[in-house]
Chains A and B, each alone.
Chain A
C-alpha cells in the first residue's frame, strides 16, 4: 500500500488527482492539504510515503515547505510552470508533472516511484532559492512549532554558528541548518556582503566603518551590533559601496 498526500491550493487539482489515483487499488490518499502550513502539520500527523506537491501556494511555496519537514517523504511536484523543473530535480524530486497531465503520465511517475521506493533518494540539502527567481527573497525557519517567514530585507546580519546559520532580525535570532556559503550565493549581492568568514551583513544596516590600528576593520550596524571585517571582507565592502 502506498500512502499518499496531496498539497495544492486548488480544490480541482485535488479532485483530478484523486480521481486518477482511485483506480489504483494499491494507493490510499491519506491527506488533502491546501497550503504549505497545513501540509507540514498534516505530513507530521499522517506520515505519508509519497506527496504530490504544488509549487505556487499561499505564503510559502512548495520548496519552502519541503525545507521545513524533517524526514520528508518522496515528492512528485505537480505544477503548471515549467520553470522550476531543474530546481525540483536539484532537491531530488521523484518526478515533475506539468498541469494538465494525462493519466498515463501519472502512471509513469508512480512506476518510477515504485521502482525507487526501496531505495529512496535522499532529499538533498542544496540551496533552494525562492520559487520566484534565483535571488532569495525570503527565508522560512521553524522554531518549535512556529513557522517564521522572514523577508530578506528584514535580515540585519547572518552569522555562522557551528552547523547552523544564525539569522539576526529585529524580531530576534533564528537558526537555519545551512552553510553561510549557500546564503552568500543566494542573497542579492547588492544588499548583502560577506565581510568575514563567519558573517554576512545587510548593507542598509551599516552606520559606520571603523579602522583598527593593526589594519583590521569593523562595521557598526543600526542595531548597535559590531561585526568584524576580514581583509578580504573589507575589499568586498569597498566594492559594494562603490557600485
Chain B
C-alpha cells in the first residue's frame, strides 16, 4: 500500500515538474526574444516552441542514458548525443516557426540571424542536463553496488547459519549418533571412525574465518566426510563415486556452496528410488572455471524434484550475487538421472 501511494505521488510530482519546467522555460525564452525586439505574442509562441523541443530532448536523454554506462563505454557518447539533439532541435524549430509565421518576413530575418545564438543556448542547456542525468545515474549505480555487496555478505552468513542449524537438526546428527550407537557394541573401530568423521565435519563447517571464498580442497574434504557418514548409515544401498581432476583442489569457491546440492542428491536419490543409489561428484578445471557436476538417480514418475527449496535456488542466487551471471548453475534430468552442473569463475 505504502509503495503504491508513493508511486502515485511521484507520478503527480512528475506531471507538475514537467508543466512547471515548460512554464519557466517558455517565459524565459519569450523574455529574451521580446528583449531583442520582437512583439510579445510572437515571442511567447517562439518561446513555447523552443521550450517544448528542449523538454522533448531532455526526455530523450533520460531514456537513452540508462542504456549506456559512461564508466564502461567512456564519455564519447555523452558528448555526441547532446550535439546531435541540438542540431535537430534548431532544425525542427526553424521549420516549425517558419510554418507558423509564413507571412512575417521581418520575423524570418530575425530567426535566421539568431540561429547561432539559439544553437549555443540549446547546446549549453542539453550539456547541463546530460551532466545532471549522468551524475544521478552514477550515484544510483554506486548505491546499487553497495547494496549488492551487503546482499552477498548476507547470503554467505545466511548459508552458514542455515547449515549450523541444519546440522544441529535431528536428521543428520541424531541419525549419525544412532549409527554410532549401533556400531559401538560390535564394531568399535568403525564407531571410532564415525565419531572422528563427525567431529571433523563439524569443525570444517563451523569454522569462523571463512571469507567470500575458500579453497576447493576444504569443500571437497567436507563433502567426502559427509558422504562417508551417509554411507555408514545407508550401507550397501548407497554408492559414492567422487572424482577430482588434478589441480582443481587449489581453485576457489564460496564456502559451503556445494553442501546443499549434495544433500539434495542424497534426499532425492535415497528417498526417491527403491534400488541401489549411486551418487557421483565430479570436479574439474575448465579454462577459467571450477566445474562441479553432482548427479543422482531419480524417479521421473515422482515428478520433477521439487522442494529443493533453499538448496538449488540459494546456490543460484549466491552465484548471481557474486558474479552477476545467471548461467552458472544448470540442472537437467536425462532419463532417470538428475544432474546439477556448476561453473565457478576463477577471478585471478
Contacts and interface: CB of A to CB of B under 8 A. Distances in A.
Interface of A: 9-13, 15-16, 19, 34-35, 37, 56-59, 80-82, 98-100, 132, 149, 151, 153-154
A57 B182 contact: no
Interface stretch (B2-10, B227-235, B338-346): B227-235
Given A13-B178, A80-B170, A58 B185 contact: no
Nearest to B273: A58
B272 interface: yes
Contact of A58 (B181, B271, B303): B271
With a 10 A CB-CB cut-off, give which of B182, B236, B299, B307 has the most chain A CB atoms.
B182
Query: Chain B at the A interface: mostly helix, strand, loop or mixed?
Result: helix
Contacts of B233: 10, 12
A9 B237 contact: yes
A208 to B, nearest CB: 26
Contact of B303 (A82, A98, A151): A151
B271 A12 contact: no
A12 B174 contact: no
A100 B170 contact: no
Interface size class of B (residues with CB under 8 A): 20 to 34
Nearest to B194: A12
Given A80-B171, A151-B302, A153-B303, 18 more contacts: A9-B270, A10-B234, A10-B235, A13-B178, A16-B178, A19-B185, A56-B171, A57-B271, A59-B273, A80-B170, A80-B175, A81-B170, A81-B171, A99-B170, A100-B177, A100-B181, A132-B307, A151-B303
7 contacts: A12-B182, A16-B178, A58-B273, A59-B274, A80-B171, A98-B174, A154-B303
Contacts of B183: 12
Contacts of A99: 170, 174-175, 177-178
B179 interface: yes
Contacts of B165: none
Contacts of A58: 270-274
A9 B275 CA distance: 11
Contacts of A34: 237
Contacts of A81: 170-171
Nearest to B190: A12
Contacts of A12: 178-179, 182-183, 232-233, 235
Contacts of B182: 12-13, 15-16, 19
A174 to B, nearest CB: 15
A9 B234 contact: yes
With a 10 A CB-CB cut-off, give which of A9, A12, A57, A151 has the most chain B CB atoms.
A12
Contacts of B271: 56-59
B186 interface: yes
A172 to B, nearest CB: 15
Nearest to A36: B274
A34 B237 CA distance: 10
With a 10 A CB-CB cut-off, give which of A57, A58, A82 has the most chain B CB atoms.
A58
Contacts of A132: 307
Contacts of A57: 271
A35 B276 CA distance: 12
B26 to A, nearest CB: 49
A19 B299 CA distance: 35
Nearest to A57: B271
Nearest to B277: A58
A155 to B, nearest CB: 12
A56 B177 CA distance: 17
A80 B234 contact: no
Nearest to A101: B178
Contacts of A11: 234-236
A89 to B, nearest CB: 18
Contacts of A35: 274
The 9 closest A-B pairs by CB, nearest first: A16-B182, A99-B178, A80-B174, A12-B182, A100-B178, A11-B235, A80-B170, A12-B179, A15-B182
Nearest to B181: A100
B197 to A, nearest CB: 14
A62 B138 CA distance: 59
Contacts of B179: 10, 12-13
Contacts of A153: 303
Nearest to B307: A132
With a 10 A CB-CB cut-off, give which of B177, B183, B186, B235 has the most chain A CB atoms.
B235
A123 B142 CA distance: 64
A15 B186 contact: yes
A96 to B, nearest CB: 13
